[in-house]
Structure formats: structure tokens, C-alpha cells
Amino acid sequence: VEDLKELVKKFKAAVKAQTGKDFPACAYEQLWGAVCAVFNSWMNERAILYRKMEGIPDEWGTAVSVQAMVFGNMGETSATGVCFSRDAATGEDLFNGEYLINAQGEDVVAGIRTPQQITKVGSQRWAELAGVSEEERVSKYPSMEEAMPEIYKELDALQTKLENHYKDMQDMEFTVQEGKLWFLQTRNGKRTGAAMVKIAMDLLRQGMIDEKTALLRCEPNKLDELLHPIFDTKALKQAQTLTRGLPASPGAACGQIVFFADDAAEWHAAGKKIVMVRIETSPEDLAGMAVAEGILTARGGMTSHAAVVARGMGKCCVSGAGALNIDYKARTVEIDGVLLKEGDYISLNGSTGQVYNGKVETKAAELSGDFAELMNLADKYTQLQVRTNADTPHDAEVARNFGAVGIGLCRTEHMFFEGEKIKAMREMILAEDAEGRRKALSKILPYQQADFKGIFKAMAGFPVTVRLLDPPLHEFVPHDLKGQQEMADAMGVSLQYIQQRVESLCEHNPMLGHRGCRLGNTYPEITQMQTRAILGAALELKKEGVETHPEIMVPLTGILYEFKQQEDVIRGEAAKLFEEVGDSIDFKVGTMIEIPRAALTANRIASSAEFFSFGTNDLTQMTFGYSRDDIASFLPIYLEKKILKVDPFQVLDQNGVGQLVRMATEKGRAIRPDLKCGICGEHGGEPSSVKFCHKVGLNYVSCSPFRVPIARLAAAQAAIEDLN
């Protein structure tokens, strides 16, 4: 008390020194002084500058609340508490909350005392979980309904009144002072993804809100919680956090550490659950990633290879965990002083980026009927179609079950990394001439055709956009001595020859090198084989009565003539095939717009291309000049310093990259009015990016299978916001 008195003297002296007047003793003068201080602050030059920098409208100004206090710590007839008009975890229409007798303010949530439940039902549920007997519950932890029945009735009536007024689940705080109930505040309550969907659909059924409001009430990204495995809550409380990386693909994963794809496949075949740990991943790691529970990488951003593939597979992934010190030779990973060996258990939270030591049990997320109803409601309003990025029949089926109406990106390179396929692919790459490449490609053709047939069948009746071979060839060749020797033996050449060929394929900047349409134009036999595989699969299914709509996409076009060369090869090979089999099928030939020059000259490219698909991953990379695999080294600092507001590989940069998308769409349709346009980058499943695509008039967005529901909801919201 003496210290407080001394502080008051010092504050009064400071006020007099600044204003030349004594601090007023009259409460009304104090209140008026506070009001004037607020108004004066609006005119302060620094305040005006701050509001401009932060984008705060002038009319917002500054606010100060002055209010009388009530006290819940004035004896056994006083209390304080927090309550919810519905269950924030499940969405159940059940009044619930916690309170403490003779307590004040933050005591309920501070963990100093065990709070009591407001309702008798809630109290009984709590006692059952805590292992407390009914007798002990009633004597030590009675509910407010039992201990303060009159106050409870008043509280219950008020929470109903407030929810009916705001037409949403309310989060309320209250105080009881000597037998009188005081409400402190109410606000729309935060809730889990499952609760969000249930509350919206329940309020719709109860006639409190309409369909549009129900859709707008749901946050698209929170649907992720309904689609992926999650950690058991009790197990998570005991978990030891090792480090944190980027939450690259949501969900939970637990398994034994494995460092190499071959080992991952073997361990999985033996019935073990594994987590693949890599410095970074490449297409060579696909076989291991496919069988892993989750993927952890030391490098890479939110759109690195590991992140993109994991999201496509619905796998949990934490990327860019810089604290990882991986030693492939010793098969160990050291994380901030903790050394883990191959076979040790590790757990990943792909929703937060946290990495835990040991086993943390997971459980499957539950999908309720409300989720399906919400998706049906979204379809009623949406105009923008949602396709998926899928490379396997399984991924296509998953996406179709989530409501995808086609495939916007099928990456053909992912099909090569299995069994005999990779050997034939490597043989083709390492061949000395075109004849050698054709010989190897003839081995690949039946594999590719079978793969496409499975995907087309899974997406029967819907369009499937197949991207021709895109990555640089060095990604497919063996870089280890064992793999190089295997290829030398298989091809009947020397190890030295293989090593020289591998070395010759290495580039200083492969992402800007010999890849995409440049591959097809220098090695047209690759495009011929892929065209034959795509259309051959479609023709086989036509005989079986399965409807297909193949769309062949040329990647990395920057010049009209690059595209025309590839189009000539595709249409020429198609004509040969149709003549050979005595049948034909309709197909489209289009291109991926992922180079700024292609966007700038889109009117020229549209004179030949029948559709545009914006590859916004590479378009963002080339427009910003950021490497998406290395951005993690400076992104956190850029975000902290507000140089960037968001990661541009996660959220579409509407002012830069977005304007290229808008311009290319307008230029392309000026030449070809029926030009179909969509995006297939990772932005296709991000809500604000989806809404931008709706605004600029794209036909569809394409995203990972597990983000299809998110995109569908965002597309519906965009259409409703347009109507409003």
C-alpha cells in the first residue's frame, strides 16, 4: 500500500510537470480529460502517420473504455465465470462453462484453482472424466445450477437471449457480486472446425440464419481439421517438443525415423509406421513419401517439393525445420542437443509445425453429416469449378469423393519413380542418341498408358489435364555409386560412361534450365510417347464405354513458337495413332502460364493454345525472384519486419502475380473468347486466392485433394459476396 501511495505522488507530479496543472480530484473532470485526450490523439501527427502505415481508417481513431468495477471475491455469495451458449469443441447445442465462488477476474482461466462447471450435466461429465465420485463432486465441486440455482436461472435465460439476438454461439463473461449477476461482455465464440460446421448447420435448421449466412459463417481453412488425422488430446499434453518448422501439410503423424526412400518401402512392407526425415526431398523420394505417415525436412518452404507432394497425398508434413542436423552416413538427426537414430520414434504436427520426441498417439478425424450438407449447400451457390491436382487413381478418387469435378494438374513425372519404370526412364535419359531414347521410351509407353487409364477411369466423365514431362532430367538419374553401377550393368556400358552422362546433365540453375517444353522441343520423341500414352488410354476406355476428356498441357511456355512446335508434335502423333487404331477421340492442347513473358504475350499464345492453366508456384517464383525451396532462410525475418505481410507461395500476391493472371486471361480471351482458364498452383486451395480467381473470371481452380472442400466453400463465399 505504501508503494502505491508513493506511485500516486509520482504520477501526480508527472502530470503537473507536463500540463502545469494539478491532477483533478473530481471524477467528472477526470472523465472529461480522458475523452479530450482521445480526441486530441486523433490530431497527433505521429498518430496520423501510424494509422496511414497500418491502413487504419481515420474514422476509427482511438478508443478508451472507462467503467465501474464489480467484484466476485466478496464472499460465498460472489463468483466469477466464463460460459458458452454452445459447446465450442463439438458444436453441440448445450449451455456450458466454468465458474469459481469467491474469485475474481482471471482466476477461472489462470489454473490456480480447479473451476467448477456451470451446469449439472457438465459437472457430472467432468467428474466422470476426472475420476471424482458423485458424493465428492456435490460436496467439493457443485455446479452453479446446484450451488446458486437462482443466479443460474437468470444466467441461462440471458445466454439464450444473447444467442437469439446475435444469432451465433456466444462466449460470455460474468461476475456475481453479493448475490447479484453482472454481465461483463459477450462475443461470438471461437470454435473448432467440427463445431463451426455443426453450429452453422444447426442454426440454419433452427431457422435462425439463412443458407448464405450459414456458408459465410464457416471459415474455409478450418475445414482442414475435419479432413486429417489429429493427435489424441491427453497424449499431446505429455509430449516433449523438440523443435518447430513450417506447417506444410496439416494433420498428425507418428512413426519411426527413416532417412532413405528404399528403407522406407522395406520398413512399410514389414508393417512398420515410419516418418521420413530428409534435408530436402526430390522426386527420387516419392516411393518413401508415399508409404510414410509423415515427412520432416530441414530445408524448404511451404511450396517446396516435400510440401506440395505431401499435401497432394494428404500426408502430414513439417518443412524448413532449420534446427535439424541430419547425418545420412551415421543415420542420425540431432535436434537442439537431442540425438535421434534411425528407428527412433518421432511425431509431427503438420497443422502447427511442431516436432515431438517419441510416440504421440493419433486418431482419425470424424466427418459428420453436417459436413456433407455444407458442401451440397456450397455447390448451390458456387460458380467457380474446383478440380484437383492428382497423379494417381487413388488421389483422383479421394478428390472426387471430396467433390472435385476434374483434374487440373496431373504431373506425369511422378509416375516414373516405381520399380522398372525408373530404370527405363534412366535408360532413356542416359542414352547416347535419339534411337537409344526411342528404344527406352517404348518400354515406358505401356507403363504410362496404364497409369493414365487408371486416372481417367477414376475421373470418368470429367476433364483431366495432363502436364507433359516438366522437371530437369538430372532429377531422374542416379547420383549414388550403387545406382550408377546398376544402370551401367542394365545398359551394358561402363560405369565411367554413366558417370560422365550424369555429370553432363547437371546445371547451375536447373529450375531455369533444360526443363518443360524445352525438353520436348529438344527431344520430341518424349512428347510423342506421352501423347500416345495419354490418347491411347482414352481410346481404350472409349471401347469400354468410359467417357474421358483429356487435355494435354505443355509446361513452361514463354514463346508462342515453343508452344507451336510442341502442338505440332502432339497433333501429328495423335493423327498417326487415330489412323492406326481406326478411331479417334476429342482432346484439347493448352499450356501452363508460369513465366511472366507468357502472361505478357498471352494474346499471341492464345492464337494456338486452347486453354491456359496458371502455374502460380513458378509464376510467383519468377515474378518475385524468390527460390521457393530457399525462401525459408529469410521469410521469417521478412514477415517479422513486415516487408512481406504473408508468404507469397501460400497466399497469391494479388497486386503482382495476380495482375499477371488477370492480364493474361483478358488478353487470351480477346483472341479466343471461349478460352478456358484456371490455376493449378498451391494457391488453388487457399481461400483468399480462390476468391481472387472468381473475381478475375477464371473457370476453375485446382488444388490438392484434401483442400478441395476448402476451395469449394471459398468459391461459394466468393459468389455470395458478389451477390451481396
Q: Phi and psi at residue 79, in whole multiples of 5°?
A: -165, 170
> Got the DSSP string for 217-253?
HS-GGGGGGGTS-EE-HHHHHTPEEEEE-EEEE-SEE
d(CA 493, CA 491): 6
**438, exposed or middle or buried, with CB in 10 Å at 0-12, 13-18, 19+?**
middle
Report how far apart, in Å, the C-alpha atoms of 495 and of each of 187, 393, 439, 474 are. Answer: 71, 37, 21, 17
Question: What stretches of 141-297 show up as alpha helix (H) in DSSP?
Answer: 144-147, 149-166, 193-205, 211-217, 233-237, 261-269, 286-291
Contact yes or no for 379/712 (Cβ under 8 A): yes
Extract the C-alpha cell encoding 40: 486530441
* Cα-Cα-Cα-Cα dihedral sign, residues 549, 550, 556, 557: negative
Extract the C-alpha cell encoding 329: 552416413
Of these residues, 268, 305, 414, 694, which one is catalytic? 305
- The count of other CB atoms within 10 Å of the CB of residue 389 is 29
- The yes-or-no answer on residue 680 being catalytic is yes
Length of the chain: 724
> C-alpha 657: how far from its chain's center?
19
Pairing of β 407-411 and β 463-467? parallel
Of these residues, 680, 693, 694, 703, which one is catalytic? 680
**150, exposed or middle or buried, with CB in 10 Å at 0-12, 13-18, 19+?**
exposed
Q: Phi and psi at residue 205, in whole multiples of 5°?
A: -65, -30
Nearest CA to 548 out of 453, 662, 626 is that of 453
Instruction: Report the catalytic residues.
Output: 305, 680
